[in-house]
A and B are shown apart, each in its own frame.
Chain A
Amino acid sequence: MTTSAGFLTGLTEPQRGQLLALAETVRFPSGARIFDEGELAERFWIAEEGSVALDVHVPGQSPPIVETLGPGDLVGWSWLFPPYRWHLGARTLSPVTARQFDAAAVRDRCARDPDFGHALTCAVGSVIGRRLRGARARLLDLYGPPRGGGR
């Protein structure tokens, strides 16, 4: 009785197959850095098991976590848009199993197959939209002291 949603549900069955054909399964131990802010975004991942933290480098303190990702989530989207550099860092919070993709190979596939490219861009766009909505909701500090309404 599971919903098994996540990034891949944004694609049709054949498109999912086409994308996954480009993947290899990788494992990270707990506490591993997957990528760092500013580096070239040459790969991306879909988490299958475990938890990944997105963090920001702040001098003099351990990187604050801005969001955590789990099974089914897309880890990284900067690989799809110029300048192809990570805006955040990512680190595992537990042992993680993930599908790993070579960004150049996926971008190349998008360029050769516009239907696939459009679907994948829409799927990544909806992930970015969800994260933007989440970030905005957190800016509102909804659970903070009431300023005229809401518990």
Chain B
Amino acid sequence: MNVPQPYQVVGRDRETADTVTLTLEPVGDPLPAFRPGQFAMVYAFPRGEVPLSLSGTTPSGTGLTHTVRAVGPVTSALAGLRPGHHVGVRGPFGTPWDLAAARGGDLLLVAGGVGLAPLRPLLLRALDEPRDHRGVALVVGARTPADLLYRDQCDTWAQRAPVAVTVDRPEPGWTGNVGVVTTLLDRVPYQPRNTTAYLCGPEVMMRATARDLVHRGVPASRVFLSLERTMRCGTGHCGQCQLGPLLLCRDGPVVAWDRAEALLAVREL
């Protein structure tokens, strides 16, 4: 899994002004199956390689879906790819979302911005296995209504589970919520002591959300965050993604709050 495997772009969907979802199928043998929360190192020839979380699977079962936001050279190159283009993919890397932790209880997914992408496969799996837990709820925060990912899908999910969406800055015509994502934590149903929460978004947003959830009674060991640091090798060797004793490409990106809280409080240089 450590040599990039050739994958072909077979689908490209524009999500927002700077974000697209790419569907990839293997040219040769597929990589081992990815689990929600894990990430791939995706190589855009000749620009370089970046970590991207799994944002979905394909009907074939061998394909990968990644939602990529163009923020720099490599992600811009990836966002500009068209069906027929090729990329190199290594993986799967990192820790998956711990769905088993939620068995019998409530699941609360809290997404900020493009952080909804890594939560999507978890949500879909949870919706497909309704007997395994009491309830699933999704809370989403975005910068503006135009920055909301998967808008049509959010409407479909809302028919199957409570979904609450808020934006930082409304645009004319927006009739939904305005405010930070934590203001929605009382607007969806869950029993805090019996809840497993999955958070993905900017770190400041995840820290505020984790604190609020623990204050409401959600156990810190069942609040999971997807943490990001610059990653190079993906295999726990280069040390780029170190966070205290953790190498996030191997021991993360998904880490529980009881472990992450103290590590995230340490100031980095």
Contacts and interface: CB of A to CB of B under 8 A. Distances in A.
A82 interface: no
A72 B178 contact: no
Between A3, A6, A133, the greatest number of chain B beta carbons within 10 A of the residue's beta carbon is seen for: A3
Nearest to A134: B180
Interface stretch (A17-25, A112-120, A136-144): A136-144
B198 to A, nearest CB: 15
B190 A1 contact: yes
Nearest to A4: B186
Interface string A27-39: 0000000000000
Interface in A23-66: 51, 53, 62, 64-66
A146 interface: yes
Contacts of A130: 182-183
A51 B177 contact: yes
Instruction: Identify whether the interface residues of A are mostly helix, strand, loop, or mixed.
Output: loop
Interface in B163-187: 166, 168-170, 172, 175-180, 182-183, 185-187
A137 B113 contact: no
B105 to A, nearest CB: 10
A4 B187 CA distance: 8
Contact of A140 (B114, B185, B204): B204
B189 A1 contact: yes
A141 B187 contact: no
Nearest to B143: A143
Interface in B196-226: 201-205, 208, 216
A7 to B, nearest CB: 10
A14 interface: no
Interface in A51-93: 51, 53, 62, 64-68, 70-72, 93
Interface string B100-142: 0000001000001111000000000000000000110000011
For the complex of A and B, list the 5 residue pairs with the smallest distance between their C-beta atoms, beginning with the closest.
Answer: A143-B113, A150-B202, A143-B143, A142-B202, A134-B180
Given A3-B192, A149-B228, 13 more contacts: A2-B189, A5-B185, A67-B178, A68-B178, A70-B186, A133-B208, A137-B180, A137-B204, A142-B202, A142-B205, A143-B143, A150-B202, A151-B201
Interface of B: 18, 69, 71, 106, 112-115, 134-135, 141-143, 147, 166, 168-170, 172, 175-180, 182-183, 185-187, 189-192, 201-205, 208, 216, 228
21 contacts: A1-B189, A1-B191, A2-B190, A3-B186, A3-B191, A3-B216, A51-B177, A64-B170, A67-B178, A71-B186, A93-B175, A130-B183, A138-B179, A142-B168, A143-B112, A143-B168, A145-B18, A149-B228, A150-B203, A150-B204, A151-B228
